[in-house]
Every structure is written in C-alpha cells, then in structure tokens.
Amino acid sequence: MTDGPILNTTLSSLVLVVDDEPANIVLVAGILCRHGFDNVKGITHADLVVDEVLQTKPDIVLLDMHMPGTDGMTLLRQIRIITAEQSFLPVIVLTADTSTQLRLDALEAGATDFITKPFDATEVALRVRNCIGQRELHQKLRAHNAILDAKVRERTAELRRSHEEITQAYADTLKMLHLISEYRDDETHGHTLRVGYASGLLALEAGMDDRYVDTIRQAAPLHDIGKVGVPDIILLKPGPLTEEEFAAIKDHPATGASILVQGRSDILKMAHTVALTHHERWDGTGYPKGIRSEQIPVEGRMVTITDVFDALTHARPYKPAWSVDRTVEKMVDGRAKYFDPDLLDLFLESVIGKLGDNTPLNPG
C-alpha cells in the first residue's frame, strides 16, 4: 500500500509530489497527466520522503514547504545530501508563501524552481517539463564525460606505456654506448660503470642535488667513447706509446665530444662535456684545450679523479692493477697539478672508502 495516489507508471520520468494534502497531490498529478506525464507518485508523510527518494530515484521532486513534522526546508536539505553523488535532481518548491526570504532560503538549500499556490496548470506543466529537460541534459553530459574520462584513462595508459618503452630504450642505448666505449680495452666491461658510480658518489658528497647526481652517474661512463676512433694497435699496445701514438690517443676527447655533440638530453649534454674535458688538468697541462682550474667544468674535474683512480686500481692492457695505497699516493702527488685539490680531498676522505671489490657493476 503506497502513501498517496499513484497514477500510471508507463513513462520513464518519475515525478514525486510531496504534500501533506492528498487533494493537492491529486490536483498536480491530474495536471501533469494531461500534459503527458503519466508516472506521478504522491507522498503525504514527510518522514517517509528520504527513504522514498533513495528507493525510487525520482527524476524530479515537487516539495511542499509547509508540512507537519519535518518541514519542507529540512527535507530539501536532506534530499540534497542524499543525492549529492547522483546526477542532477531538480526540486521544485510548492508554496503559497511568496516572501523573498523564503525563496532565498530555499535556493540556498538547493531548490531548483518554485510553483506558487494556487496552481496554474500551464505553469506547473512548463516548469516540470523544463526541469526534467535540464536533468536529461545533465545526464547526457555526465554520460559524455564518463566516455571522455574512459578515453583519457585509456590514452594516458597508452602514453605511460610508450613513455616506459622510450625510457627503457634510452637506458638500453646508454648501456650499449657504455660497452662500446670500453669494448676493446676492458674485457670485464666494468670500468665505465665503476667510474659512473664513483662520480655519482663524489657529486653527492660535493653537495649536488639528486638530479645532478643521477645525471653524472649516467653520463660519466661515456667519458672514453671517443676511443672507438683509436686504432687497436695503439689502444691495446702493452708497452709505452710513441709520440705519434700518444697524439692519436689524445684525439679521443674531441672524437667523443663530436659523437655526443647532438645529444639533447641532460645526460648526453653532460656526457659531451665530460668526454671533452676529462683529460684537462688543474694546472692547465691537459688536453685537448689546455684549460685550467675552474675553467674546467666541475663534472669534467670529478670524472678526471674517478677515471684515474679506477684505471690505476684495475689491470689495463698496458699495466697491472695498482694497490689502493699506491694509487692514493700517486694521486696526492698530483693534487693541484692534475686534480682539483678540494674535490680530490673530498674523494679521498669521503668516497674512496665506499668503493672496492664490492662496487656494483650496474649500480642503480
């Protein structure tokens, strides 16, 4: 048994009329029925309205403001709370009170429109039709937005996958370049990665930010990529080099820089700088440009230190591995000659103890 009259339920738009006077419900229902609204339900008890809205999900509510028990303004606020997550639900206020204050209070509470008692049949039908039209537009817009959201999520997922693939391809390419740079003179292929790892540690100790540390860690392994242009007979020679042979070796910084010069990423830009400057010396006696002290970019000065340390402490085609003590002694002799004195001190004090046999070949 329903509370109030129900007129046919053949059309999709459900109109819920809330009024404590059954006669008013019959009147409104009759008006709406004559104008094509065949699905009208009435309810006279205010305490049942919230449950009715939740259960039947009407397309529009016509709400009397002056009812015994829970008043219409309170009901309006409750309806707005329980339908906040739903598509737009129009609520038309039915009232004989034409005061400005009531209208302002009702609008603030969430009213969509007003119908003044006594009812004008044409006005009732037009206002209900207009409000339901607004609801249908809201529903269509919401459905369209849901489709757009799904497309955006799908496209975002595709872009994320593409980005991950590009990132992986870039990382793989860097690793391949690392291998190329030492393919002929380091059978273990560990020198470049150790230099990158040590350079990252040195940059961290020097107070560089995380982005810089990660960049130099990935850029430093490309410092000797220019050696691809050095003939094997020179690069793999076990004994001392002639002047002509050493001149060929001295070309590798410029060769490496020419390979990397078109790189646009931060890593390849820094790798270009490192390749070009890692054989410059603090006192200006290095090559290829003979620049000195702070004219040498800091990443070049860092890699000079880490490259020499690793080269001396590991076997090369032309020499056996040196002990760490012998290497440190040799590098201290080159302080303020070959190496930035402050960076060398920092390396010896804070970095060298973190290197050794357990240094990862693929540090992350």
Strand order in the sheet with 60-64: 6-7, 40-43, 15-18, 60-64, 91-95, 113-116
Distance between alpha carbon 339 and the CA centroid of its chain, in Å?
40
Burial of 111 (0-12, 13-18, 19+ CB in 10 A): buried
Average pLDDT estimate for 107-120: 91
Structural domains of the chain, with CATH = 6-144 (3.40.50.2300), 183-354 (1.10.3210.10)
CB 256 within 8 A of CB 222: yes
In sign, the C-alpha dihedral spanning 172, 173, 179, 182 is negative
pLDDT-derived band at 163 (thresholds 50, 70, 90) equals confident
The predicted pLDDT at position 347 comes to 97
Calpha distance 124→117 (Å, rounded):
10
Mean pLDDT for the stretch of residues 40-53: 91
pLDDT of residue 159: 85
Tokens found for residue 295: 């004219």
Q: Identify which of 63, 363, 22 has the alpha carbon closest to the alpha carbon of residue 221.
A: 363
Residue pair 194/245 in contact (Cβ under 8 Å)? The answer is no
Mean pLDDT for all residues in the chain = 87
**Nearest-angstrom CA–CA distance, 38 and 41:** 10
* pLDDT attached to residue 6: 37
The predicted pLDDT at position 307 comes to 95
What's 357's DSSP letter?
A: T
For residue 310, the model assigns a pLDDT of 93
Cα–Cα distance, 139 to 113 (Å, whole number): 19
pLDDT single digits (tens) 281-299: 999 999 999 999 999 999 9
Looking at the DSSP bridge assignments, the partners of residue 114 are 93
- The structure tokens 């004994």 sit at 239
d(CA 47, CA 67): 10
Q: How many residues does the chain have?
A: 364
Two tokens at 280? Answer: 């410059």
Which tops the pLDDT comparison, 161 or 276? 276
What would the DSSP string read from start to end of 96-161? S---HHHHHHHHHHT--EEEESSPPHHHHHHHHHHHHHHHHHHHHHHHHHHHHHHHHHHHHHHHHH
Give me the pLDDT at residue 96, please.
87
Q: Would the pLDDT of 320 be above 60?
A: yes
pLDDT of residue 11: 52
- Average pLDDT, stretch 124-150? 90
Specify the pLDDT at position 189: 60
